């Protein structure tokens, strides 16, 4: 698996979007009031304004073709599932914490 997506949590999605647009010239794809995807940022990513994660470290998201197998490997390697597999527009994903404390996620297309 390789890094496929980077997600920033924001307590003020509009302010984060406006800052990134002004400072770096990024565009955005609107997925509603709680999510904006990056455009022209050099890597796929987005801003999560749902409030489910505190702003701070970005969420690194890996991509796989077999989500269930990836979840099994994460568990076997000592990772702790923090959000079981769920669906979102465009696919499914789960979140986990690796033994050093970093939260990451894995996704697959629908």
The model's pLDDT over 97-109, given as tens digits with 9 standing for 90+, comes to 998 888 999 999 9
pTM summary value? 0.80
Q: What is the pLDDT of residue 55?
A: 84
Q: Which domains does the chain have, with CATH numbers?
A: 1-63 (3.10.180.10), 67-110 (3.10.180.10)
| List of E strands, 10-102 | 27-30, 35-39, 45-48, 59-63, 80-88, 91-97
Per-residue confidence band for 50, with pLDDT thresholds at 50, 70 and 90 = very high
- How confident is the model over 5-29, as pLDDT tens digits? 999 999 999 999 998 999 889 999 9
- pLDDT tens for each residue of 61-101: 999 999 999 999 999 999 999 999 999 999 999 999 998 88
pLDDT on residue 72: 96
Which residues neighbour 58 within 8 Å (Cβ) at sequence distance 6 or greater? 6, 7, 8, 45
């Amino acid at each position: 698996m390789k890094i496929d997506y980077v997600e920033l949590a924001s307590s003020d999605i509009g302010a984060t979007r406006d800052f990134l647009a002004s400072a770096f010239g990024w565009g955005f794809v609107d997925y509603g009031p709680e999510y904006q995807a990056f455009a022209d940022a050099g890597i796929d990513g987005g801003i999560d304004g749902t409030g489910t994660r505190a702003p701070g470290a970005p969420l690194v998201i890996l991509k796989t073709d077999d989500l269930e197998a990836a979840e099994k490997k994460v568990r076997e390697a000592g990772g702790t599932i923090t959000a079981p597999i769920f669906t979102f527009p465009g696919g499914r994903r789960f979140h986990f914490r690796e033994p050093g404390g970093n939260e990451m996620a894995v996704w697959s297309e629908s």
